[in-house]
Amino acid sequence: MPLIVVPTSQLFWMRVAALLFTCVAFSAAAHGAYLPLPVMADWCIFCWAFSFACTLLVLLVELFGLQARVPVSWSNFPITVACYAALLCLSASIIFPVFFLRHQLFYRVARDHRIVSTVFSCLAAVAYMGEVSLSKARPGEVAGYMATAPGLLKVCQTFLACIIFILISSPVTYDHHPALKWCMAVYCICFILSMAVVVLCVGEWTGCLPIPFSKFLSAYGLLAVIMYLTATILWPVFQFNKSYGRNDNSETIAASVITAINFLLYVADLVYSARLVFVSG
C-alpha cells in the first residue's frame, strides 16, 4: 500500500490551484511591492498566508491519509477552512488594489508586484469559492454540518461580524448612547455563539451540549434574528439622526449596511436550519 495517495479529483486540483495562487500573491507582495501602509499590507499578507497554510495542511493530511488521526471532524474542517479562505482572499482582493494600486505613485517593479498580487488574490478567491461549491452538501446528501447552507452561513456571519468590529472600534462609534451599546452587545453575542457552533462542529463536540444540537440551533437562530433585527433598526436611527448626535461617516454607514446584510444571513440561516434533518450515529 503506497504511503502517499495522490487524488485526481476536481476538489484536489482546486486546492492545489488555491495553494499556488495564494503563494504567489503573498510572495509578490512581500518581496518587491514596497507597501507603504503596514496595517493594510499586513492584513492582506495575513489573508494569503493563512489561506496558504491551512490549504497546505489539508492537502498534506489527505495525501498521507491522516484524516482519521487528526483531532477534528474531517467532514467539517476542510470546507470551513475553504469558506474562510474565500472570504479572506476576497477581502484582500478588494483592499489591496484600493490601497496600493489606486492613486499610487511607485516604481515600475513595485507596480508589477502589486498587480501580480492583486491578480493572483482574485484567482485564489475564485479557487476557494470553487472548492466550497464542490464540497458543499447536495440536497438529500448526508454531510457534515459545516458543508450545509447553515454551516456556511455561520462562517459568513462571523466574518462580517469581525468587519463590523473593525469599523466601529477605530474610532469607537458606539459609546455615546445606550442603544448603540446594545447593538455592540448584539454583535458580540451573536458572533460568540456563531463561532461556538463552528468550533463545536469542527471539533466534533456537539454532543457535549446539554440539549440536542438541532434544538440549540433553532433557539439560537430565532434569538439571533430578533437581536439583529433590533440592531439593524437602532444602529442607523441613533447614528444618523441629528437628535442623537449625527455620526454619518463612512465607517458607521458601512457598519449599518453590513448589519443589515448579516441580519438577512441570520434569517436565511433560520429558514435553512428548519429544513435540516440531523442524522445521529
Per-residue pLDDT tens for 75-87?
999 999 999 999 9
Q: Read off the pLDDT band of 281 (50, 70, 90).
A: very low
- The set of residues, in sequence order, having a beta carbon less than 8 Å from that of 22 and lying 6+ positions away, is 48, 49, 51, 52, 55, 85, 89, 120, 121, 124
Q: Read off the pLDDT band of 241 (50, 70, 90).
A: confident
The domain spans of the chain are 10-135, 149-275
pTM score, whole prediction: 0.90
Q: How far apart are CA 242 and CA 3, in angstroms?
A: 68
| CATH 1.20.120 at 10-135, yes or no | yes
Q: How far apart are CA 54 and CA 22, in angstroms?
A: 11
**Whole-number average pLDDT of the chain:** 88
Q: What is the pLDDT of residues 161-188, one digit of tens each?
A: 999 998 888 778 888 889 999 999 999 9
Render 146-162 in DSSP notation, one character per residue: GGSHHHHHHHHHHHHHH
